[in-house]
A and B are shown apart, each in its own frame.
Chain A
């Protein structure tokens, strides 16, 4: 009996060793795959956008059939997960062939400086990528090789789609309140919010549970008062821009006034972005802020017909501008094994043919394909998605997309996230609030100059 048991254990152990050996052998054979049969590992951070992912699935199939022998291994992560792991992935020995990389001095900038990415200049020339995007779009994917400047230097990535931040309107509530047109100026927005407040409706569905909406509102208000330059200068560190400028004071004061007047949804400190959207979709609130990447809205076409996505108003009411940028750019890691094929893939997903498919699926391509208007109407999208796409195309076509202000320094996002709460709740004055932002921003800008 004991002997038998011993023998059985021996069998288990040898089986385990055999399995481990086979697994190791399997790993080995991956590395020396022939050139004819190659796997292109593509890493994305689109986990939160199922609509866009579905379009990429289709594009990947097409890429595979156009390139026989190539298999696309499309690996999906959430945006947060991508942002927190890409440093390790890119610096490791076997990075993906193509990877989305988050923007900002601490991400794209640091990777460019660390030599972890491939300069795309040659591929851009070969495939004519410069003609596919406006310079203001390409700018966001440029960093100097010392990591000090954003918006200048080599091109490190190409984005396929775009997202922008806009105002959501519940037209049913608006009609009830006698509001015929969405607000064009901040003054109109304020009077409409007051109207809603007086009628017992929630003027602005809002939440700072995760800081995203706080950063959007701050960016949009800086843009509304100071124009695109005000936000661009802060992000690109131009013209000695500061948060304590008159534009900054105006933005913070406006936010605070709205909170004091009770324009924000009750309990706004408790809601994260997803809950804010759910509350608004549930009919609570005349307005809300949203990103076009959250389209389509939940519900049937009939249920969402009453919602509208328009540009956030400005003080002057002139010009087309919004906070918006290309989606996380596609890059080629410096240690990627299959760079030419990787470039071919990036070329494919940023091509006009791909743009038409993004459009048909309700996503906003970074450059409108020919006959975009016809494509939108034939795509049969629900009303808010249709507006998100057509306004988004207007923004990249005739308007000025403006970067998110929190890209200006690594510590800005967490600081905006915590101190907007404190400003609106009254525990920080406007000056102290702006002082905190400047503290997260100024020394960082200085450290790059030094």
Chain B
């Protein structure tokens, strides 16, 4: 007994070393490309720095000025509005569609799936340019509204103080819906058919069936989609940059756009880094909250 323990320890340690050896290349890249820059950003966020001159330690000043500024607080607020669109609206629409699509057999599913997935594959910059054209004051969207007599509804969507943020939200929903659908449909197809059969034998209608079988069956996918879309809405930069650049006024300014503006145009890297760190923490926190119920299960 004792001899086997003594012999076992080095063997296990060797096993761990071999494992670490396999991990080393990936770990090395992870540390160099992710952890080192991240901790450097954290350090920069406690300094004032123009990118060239020596850094000057200012403690929490950058964080204080972000939290004290109404403009920056509003930017975070806008990000939360976008979460409403990117995550919740996308999920709601996707679930309804899955409820309809999931239980019926559709011919040409592969084609449909590809078509649904396309918006997610197209780079957001292209999406933004296309939607900027679609939503222009004389663009097709307003043209269609006027054609059906809804002249009062036609407006400069991306230049409207009240509507520009929801417009960006809708573009994001359009972009992410395909991803959500494809993941959810894949989840539904994994649910054993006898569960549906059993539900039907018990006299469940379509709605009951959805809540009793489909939804519990895809909760893993729901978590993944929510995390992806919440993250996408918080680090949303490209869409805002291409469509509104934060305007009109400050109505579509979001944290990551302000990071870019501060870092590359104003040249205040300390403030930009602090903003980036706050954004990272927020994403981390939300991800943990979203995944919590699934952890337990």
> Interface residues, chain A, CB within 8 Å of chain B?
83-84, 87, 91, 106-107, 110-111, 113-114, 116, 208-211, 266-271, 275, 410-411, 413-414, 417-419, 421-422, 425, 427
Give Cα A433 to B246, complex, Å.
18
A267 touches which of B50, B159, B246, B247 (Cβ 8 Å):
B159
Give Cα A107 to B265, complex, Å.
9
Distance in Å: Cβ of A86 to nearest Cβ of chain B: 10
- Can you report 21 residue pairs joining A to B where beta carbons are below 8 Å apart? A87-B52, A110-B50, A110-B53, A113-B52, A209-B158, A209-B244, A209-B245, A211-B245, A211-B247, A268-B159, A269-B161, A270-B157, A270-B158, A270-B248, A410-B268, A413-B265, A417-B245, A417-B247, A418-B253, A421-B161, A427-B161
Distance in Å: Cβ of A219 to nearest Cβ of chain B: 18
Known: A270-B156, A271-B159, A414-B266. A427 touches B249 (CB 8 A): yes
Give Cα A269 to B53, complex, Å.
38
Known: A209-B247, A410-B265, A417-B247. A87 touches B253 (CB 8 A): no
Distance in Å: Cβ of A224 to nearest Cβ of chain B: 25
Other 4 A-B pairs with CB < 8 A, given A268-B159, A410-B266 = A84-B265, A107-B267, A210-B247, A269-B248
A421 in contact with B53 (CB, 8 Å)? no
B247 in contact with A421 (CB, 8 Å)? yes
Residue B51, interface by CB 8 Å: yes
B247 touches which of A106, A110, A269 (Cβ 8 Å):
A269
B264 in contact with A83 (CB, 8 Å)? yes
Distance in Å: Cβ of B273 to nearest Cβ of chain A: 15
Give Cα A105 to B246, complex, Å.
24
* B50 cross-chain contacts in A, Cβ below 8 A: 106, 110, 114
Distance in Å: Cβ of B148 to nearest Cβ of chain A: 20
Residue B160, interface by CB 8 Å: yes
Q: Report the number of A-B residue pairs with Cβ-Cβ less than 8 Å.
A: 91
Nearest A residue (CB) for B244: A209
A269 in contact with B160 (CB, 8 Å)? yes
A87 in contact with B51 (CB, 8 Å)? yes
Distance in Å: Cβ of A409 to nearest Cβ of chain B: 9
- Give the one of A114, A208, A269 with max B CB within 10 A: A269
Nearest B residue (CB) for A420: B249
A110 in contact with B52 (CB, 8 Å)? yes
Nearest A residue (CB) for B155: A267
Contact with A along B29-71 (1 / 0, CB 8 A): 0000000000000000000001111000000000000000000
Residue B287, interface by CB 8 Å: no
Known: A87-B51, A410-B267. A425 touches B156 (CB 8 A): no
Distance in Å: Cβ of B265 to nearest Cβ of chain A: 7
Give Cα A221 to B155, complex, Å.
29
Distance in Å: Cβ of B64 to nearest Cβ of chain A: 15
* A422 cross-chain contacts in B, Cβ below 8 A: 248-250
A425 touches which of B51, B52, B161 (Cβ 8 Å):
B161
* B157 cross-chain contacts in A, Cβ below 8 A: 270
A209 in contact with B266 (CB, 8 Å)? no
> 8 Å CB contacts to A: which residues of B185-241?
none
Distance in Å: Cβ of B55 to nearest Cβ of chain A: 13
Distance in Å: Cβ of B257 to nearest Cβ of chain A: 10
* B245 cross-chain contacts in A, Cβ below 8 A: 209-211, 417
Residue B137, interface by CB 8 Å: yes
* A270 cross-chain contacts in B, Cβ below 8 A: 136-137, 156-160, 248
Contact with A along B130-154 (1 / 0, CB 8 A): 0000001100000000000000000
Give Cα A269 to B164, complex, Å.
10
Give Cα A393 to B248, complex, Å.
36
A266 in contact with B137 (CB, 8 Å)? yes
Nearest A residue (CB) for B261: A414
B249 in contact with A425 (CB, 8 Å)? yes
